[in-house]
Chains A and B, each alone.
Chain A
């Protein structure tokens, strides 16, 4: 349980910090697409009898890079790249998981999260990758923000836009990989996106949006895990519903303020 809370805290901070850049690039659903590819990775892990977390992480990064390459080289227009990778992931996952004969309860924990399955090794992986992800966002904050505000302008100014986009895609994949044990593959994208949407309702600047989104993400994980523990519910659901509660609250504040 303590391990779950420690891992959850990392996830609660990392997911909205990365999600901010996805939402601003109008790629709110990309985390969902990567999550479905991670599902294929989990299935592959069962089939090969290796750590499903490692194979999911590898699959997520591959999927994220594929989406970015398809988009950047204009091999697939708009959200077609996302759709292609999304459905390839879920279809491969279903086929592989059936072949591995792993349609069981443990799979359910990957889909919707679990507070009982976090091991010390998991925590070490989550903490290391989470810290690396947060350090990357912090170090690259100014160029990433510049690309969000005006991508074409940043390109004219000589910023390495293609590489920055790839960094965001890989960050999203790593976030999915480290979060799936706690929040679950089907709901991880929500934790990347909903705290950011909630924060924009009351924030006054980009920096305050990120700070508030991270606060909401962390609070949602802590509240969600607590409810999950006492009510014996899948943590993915309770965490995301807590984030939705934060959205309702900030929307109400915004409504009262502007009304």
Chain B
């Protein structure tokens, strides 16, 4: 399969500080379901930002679908779920309004939505099981339902790559299981490449093809079953 993501010997530092990541090489084929885990401060969020082209490597190269990540030309192909703490909408906002925000890059920037855009928004809401709540304000939904609404937002542009940053934070254990099952279903039906970034991977471990542990660099890269016991709880990794 062609590559969705390719990092070649990437080192990155914020300003003149010590590098957060050193000599990272990572190749993700299109259609893979990959979990990127590691302790807080280990560099996994930085790695995700490099992949998305939000940061440029100090040395080395980051590519998305064969193009330099920072200058990637088909950004509507990227679906992104930001950390919960960044998604605080103060105004009453319905599920449909949230999901429609994810379609803006694919639709015309100006003027009303076309019917194919409206269909894509409805389909994304349907996929996460919130069709009955499309007109409901987010504030009336549970934490798990709100997270599903934001996943639908990430799906609304019909992305080739879905990147989820700490998707289980603030979500109860039951909803975490449901979320993992939803992602597994989306991965199978949409054939989308998924990068699941989390300091804990819990329920999703059963579904991912590959687990990458990040701690200043990549300290493990392989199927979750091959993960040494020592690292099984990545938040307490003793690399």
A residues neighboring B (CB under 8 Å):
20, 23-24, 26, 139-140, 142-143, 145-146, 148-159, 196, 200, 203-209
Contacts and interface: CB of A to CB of B under 8 A. Distances in A.
A198 B150 CA distance: 27
Interface in B77-131: 78, 80-82, 86-87, 89-94, 97-98, 100-102, 104-105, 107, 109-111, 113
Contacts of A146: 101-102, 104
Contacts of A149: 87, 89, 93, 97-98, 101, 153
Contacts of A142: 100-101, 104, 107, 109, 113
A24 B101 CA distance: 15
Contacts of B82: 150, 152-153
A150 B87 contact: yes
B97 A207 contact: yes
A153 B92 contact: no
B94 A205 contact: yes
A143 B109 contact: yes
Contacts, number: 101
Contacts of A145: 97, 100-101
A156 B75 CA distance: 7
A157 B100 contact: no
B76 interface: yes
Nearest to A209: B91
Contacts of A158: 75-76, 105
B91 A153 contact: no
Contacts of B11: none
19 contacts: A26-B90, A139-B111, A142-B101, A142-B104, A142-B107, A143-B109, A145-B100, A149-B89, A149-B101, A150-B86, A150-B87, A152-B54, A154-B105, A158-B76, A200-B90, A200-B91, A203-B92, A205-B93, A205-B137
Contacts of A154: 101, 104-105
B176 interface: no
A20 B90 CA distance: 11
A159 B104 CA distance: 8
Interface in B18-75: 52, 54, 75
Most central of A139, A196, A207 by chain B CB within 10 Å = A207
